[in-house]
Structure 1
Amino acid sequence: MSLSNGGGRSGEWHAAGQSQGSSQGSSQGPSHSYPLLVRDHGLGTALKLLLETLPYALARWAVLLGFAAACAVFAFVAVGGAVWLGTHVASVFGYCWLLGTLLLGGWIWGAILRYTVHMIACGHVAVLTELITHGRIGNGTEGQFAYGRRIVMDRFGEVAVLFGLNALIRAVLRAFHNALDTLGDWLPVPGMKAIVGLLNTILSAATRYLDKVVLSYDLARGGGDPRRNIQDGLVYYCQNAKPILTTSVWMVIVERILSILLCLLLLVPAGLVTVWLPEAVREYGAIVTVFIAALLAVTVRAAFIQPLFLICMMIRFHALIEHQPINSTWVGYLDGLSDKFRQIGR
């Protein structure tokens, strides 16, 4: 792989890549030391761990269903209020009500939902990290929710900050991906711009898991310096970019296929729900059925399918960096590539 934006950067990339596998030059010893009992990142292993931690997946699904139902009520109030104001007062008030409730209310609603799901996901990641590294939860006497809640509360500052750092982490990864000719190396065929653009989109979607992977690394590594843990996690990602991104591409493709199949399968129960709705709603039966199916598919995908691939990514990451020296050249490279990397430290 090579950098696409200049010879100087390309030299840094090749220097980092050449010293990645050795302990000489700018490489140090492994910056972590923790056991690893699970190394197979296949879907079978991930499914087994997901079933073992099913209470967290069910809790996330229940929260998402509750928010989805409330969202439907919120949308009804927004549209109904706009229609009433437009009919009885003035159309401009109706438009203002609709835009105000959808934009402001939707933003607040989305922030609350994202933060709630983030906290549940962090508890889930804490439990999964224990199973991957030690094969048990805590000292063996705590339940999953008790352990996850204890870890999240003990590290509440890190968990809360990581929610805000997600945008910074993605910005660093976006700068890193843009600087690589990764796809040109994988698809050395002329005239492939459309496919390369599609794969770039896939890579962008794949990085959604990395903030939780970095949290898993922070939990497994421990210590009192989460800032360094997060930065080292990003450095390890860059050192192992090609195998991780190769895995990510296939994961995202399979995830999309499963999501489409899931939506089609849920059309049947969605149709049954539509039949039970009031007659005024049943007049728009096809639209309502598709809407309900899509809403159910989104919640099931977020509660079960996405955590499945998160587990795959966590195992892949931990297995790749096991006993691997960290290359300090990458720290300077990322520091110069994006100021967001420095902001993570601050």
Structure 2
Amino acid sequence: MARTAPYVALRLAVYFGIAGAIVIVTGASAMIGYGIGSLGGEDFRTASGLWGGAAGFGLSAGLIYLAREYILYLVKAGHIAVLVDLMDGREDSGNAGQIARGTRIVREHFVEASVLFGIDQVVKAVVNAVTSLMAGTAAFLPIPGLDTLARMLRLFLKIAVGFIDEVILAYAIHIQTRNPWQAAEEALILYCQNYKVMIRNAAWLAMFIYVFAFVVFLLALAPASALIYLFPGGWSAGGFVFALLFAWAVKAAVLEPLAIACMMQVFFRTTAGQEPDPEWQARLAQLSGRFGMLAERARDWSRQPAAPQEREAAV
């Protein structure tokens, strides 16, 4: 992680910038609502401030949701690309050009943001289908109370495999492919072939990340609650929300790339020398229609990123 300090700094700037923007927009909207509410009584003023803050929070969160495609392309994928290159022993061009290097690698393999985002969404859908199947089998056993346990298991598995999609995207860079759709198809099959190893490691990493993020949340709760006193109206729950935002920013900027790096190491080491199993390919095709899209898009892939040799020469 230390060798990718420029990307860590970029992630800190992006995610703390997002958290700060949400706080500012929420506060400004609450003040506007409170000002409008001054035309009425005390209850109306308080309610207006609350509704104004809620509207600002929803607006800023919605804009960030719409921008997630470009955050993935410019921040997450670039960081993954540099991490993969370092793991594979490809020479780093130095910290000064690391972000440009990561962006260039992503462009060479995925061409544009829409391609990367499309692959990511398909991979997530297939992984969720596999996870639901694994958790859902427990619900069919005739044991009282097992249905609730199955729902809890499904929730835990979804959290645990939350980074698998980015590891699968990293596989395309790892094998230096010219067809990212085909690489995603192969990586999904390899993931399912080794699901016990992958889920076990993902579960431990998820526990570490969320426990650490919870500690950050607790530490941020006091200063966030103090910040609420600057807001008009009854924003008693605002401290909780802002502390949650701060913990999310730390998780996204620092903890997630650490977990992804660990998962990539496990995945690359476990699948080294393996070939995709046709039986698993058939199972995935039956389980999720989205998996068939990967094969179809792989066949239709016409844009050819730069060859690996060209990228090495450009470094």
TM score, norm. by length of structure 1:
0.70
Specify the alignment match of 2:70 in structure 1: 115
**Is contact 2:198–2:266 with CA below 8 Å preserved after alignment?**
yes
How far did 1:309 drift? 0.8
* Alpha carbons of structure 1 residues 337 and 156: separation in structure 2 relative to 1, 3 Å: closer
Letter in 2 for 1:230: A
Specify the alignment match of 2:304 in structure 1: none
* Alpha carbons of structure 1 residues 338 and 175: separation in structure 2 relative to 1, 3 Å: same
State which of 164, 186, 190 in structure 2 corresponds to 1:232.
186
Specify the alignment match of 2:174 in structure 1: 220
Specify the alignment match of 2:162 in structure 1: 208
Specify the alignment match of 2:262 in structure 1: 312
Deviation track 1:188-230 (CA, whole Å, cap 9, x = no partner) reads x975544443232121122221221112110111232221111
**Is contact 2:34–2:52 with CA below 8 Å preserved after alignment?**
no
Report 1 or 2 for greater relative contact order, CA contacts < 8 Å, sequence distance ≥ 6. 1
1:66 aligns with 2:17: yes
State which of 329, 334, 337 in structure 1 corresponds to 2:287.
337
* Alpha carbons of structure 1 residues 343 and 103: separation in structure 2 relative to 1, 3 Å: farther
3-state SS in 2 of match to 1:266: helix
Specify the alignment match of 2:275 in structure 1: 325
Q: Show the 5 A alignment for 1:180-219.
A: 180=134, 191-219=145-173
State which of 16, 30, 33 in structure 2 corresponds to 1:79.
30
**Is contact 1:162–1:211 with CA below 8 Å preserved after alignment?**
no
Specify the alignment match of 1:300 in structure 2: 250
Unaligned runs of 5+ in 2: 298-315
* Alpha carbons of structure 1 residues 104 and 73: separation in structure 2 relative to 1, 3 Å: closer
How far did 1:180 drift? 3.0
C-alpha separation between the residues in 1 aligned to 2:95 and 2:34?
57
1:56 aligns with 2:10: no
3-state SS in 2 of match to 1:208: coil
How far did 1:338 drift? 1.0
Structure 1 range deviating more: 109-118 or 320-329:
109-118
Letter in 1 for 2:216: L
Letter in 2 for 1:66: G
* Alpha carbons of structure 1 residues 158 and 246: separation in structure 2 relative to 1, 3 Å: farther
Specify the alignment match of 2:302 in structure 1: none
C-alpha separation between the residues in 1 aligned to 2:286 and 2:220?
48
State which of 151, 156, 164 in structure 1 corresponds to 2:118.
164
* Alpha carbons of structure 1 residues 77 and 87: separation in structure 2 relative to 1, 3 Å: same
Identity %: 26
Unaligned runs of 5+ in 1: 1-49
C-alpha separation between the residues in 1 aligned to 2:110 and 2:135?
38
C-alpha separation between the residues in 1 aligned to 2:290 and 2:72?
25
C-alpha separation between the residues in 2 aligned to 1:102 and 1:285?
13
How many residue pairs end up in the alignment? 289
State which of 92, 96, 104 in structure 2 corresponds to 1:137.
92
How far did 1:177 drift? 2.4
C-alpha separation between the residues in 1 aligned to 2:34 and 2:219?
34
- Measured on the aligned residues, the alpha-carbon RMSD in Å equals 3.7
